[in-house]
A and B are shown apart, each in its own frame.
Chain A
Amino acid sequence: QQQVKQSPQSLIVQKGGISIINCAYENTAFDYFPWYQQFPGKGPALLIAIRPDVSEKKEGRFTISFNKSAKQFSLHIMDSQPGDSATYFCAASGRMGQFYFGTGTSLTVIP
């Protein structure tokens, strides 16, 4: 059972544009929501993360928006660059610390 649903599966954005990836979860026990970036053949690297007590968190060009009542959260990449081309995973973590990942979004930024 997929505990975290992610969309879109793939995304193509022009350089300088905004990339938006959405995730939804069901388990209200989740209390930590990170986003990871993964390049081919590499392990995931933490980008940014948020807890449910805030609705938005921004770090540089990356912003997480969190809607607790809708059980949804999204990643916004501002001024997208070709170097941002990678696969992005959202995740949700419960009390025991296990991460449940979304299905991933393959982002391509066209120069």
Chain B
Amino acid sequence: GAVVSQHPSRVICKSGTSVKIECRSLDFQATTMFWYRQFPKQSLMLMATSNEGSKATYEQGVEKDKFLINHASLTLSTLTVTSAHPEDSSFYICSASWRGTHRETQYFGPGTRLLVL
């Protein structure tokens, strides 16, 4: 099946710094990538949807200036958490899909654990 990778898998940073998380589709071209946030023992909350070459669409309540998303190519999307604070500590997961027969199928990355001290 399709493989999606994320880097880094775990990151610890100081409050006030910015952190970039990469999401890559390794064996397919992802026309759409999604970013989710998951708190311990809770559900995945969709943060934003990004299509290659266009601005991301953010879900209600998600600060677009806080969570910068770039989808510069068909295989790479990045999420930058700007001026991170302890409340941003979470598990961030990306997924990718492509405009094909199974357009709805999303393949998820392994997630990135962010801890802000």
Q: B83 contacts the other chain (Cβ, under 8 Å)?
A: no
Q: A32 contacts the other chain (Cβ, under 8 Å)?
A: yes
Chain B interface, DSSP helix/strand/loop, else mixed: strand
Q: B114 contacts the other chain (Cβ, under 8 Å)?
A: no
Within 8 A of A (CB), among B38-71: 41-46, 49
Q: A25 contacts the other chain (Cβ, under 8 Å)?
A: no
**Chain A proximity mask over B1-36: 1 for CB below 8 Å, otherwise 0:** 000101000000000000000000000000010101
Choose from A45, A46, A102 the contact partner of B43 (Cβ within 8 Å).
A102
Q: A28 contacts the other chain (Cβ, under 8 Å)?
A: no
Separation of A46 and B95 alpha carbons in the complex (Å): 11
B32 neighbours in A (Cβ, 8 Å): 97
Total A-B contacts with CB atoms under 8 angstroms apart: 58
Separation of A43 and B23 alpha carbons in the complex (Å): 12
Residue of A nearest to B10 (CB): A41
Q: Is the CB of B34 within 8 A of A98?
A: yes
Count residues of A near B (Cβ-Cβ below 8 Å): 23
Separation of A14 and B1 alpha carbons in the complex (Å): 31
Separation of A55 and B43 alpha carbons in the complex (Å): 26
Q: B97 contacts the other chain (Cβ, under 8 Å)?
A: yes
Residue of A nearest to B6 (CB): A43
Q: Is the CB of B109 within 8 A of A97?
A: no
B94 CB to nearest A CB, Å: 8
Q: A42 contacts the other chain (Cβ, under 8 Å)?
A: yes
A-B contact pairs, 24 of them (CB 8 A): A34-B104, A34-B106, A36-B108, A42-B110, A43-B4, A43-B6, A43-B93, A43-B95, A43-B109, A43-B111, A44-B93, A45-B108, A46-B105, A46-B107, A97-B32, A97-B104, A97-B106, A98-B49, A99-B44, A99-B46, A101-B44, A101-B46, A103-B42, A106-B41
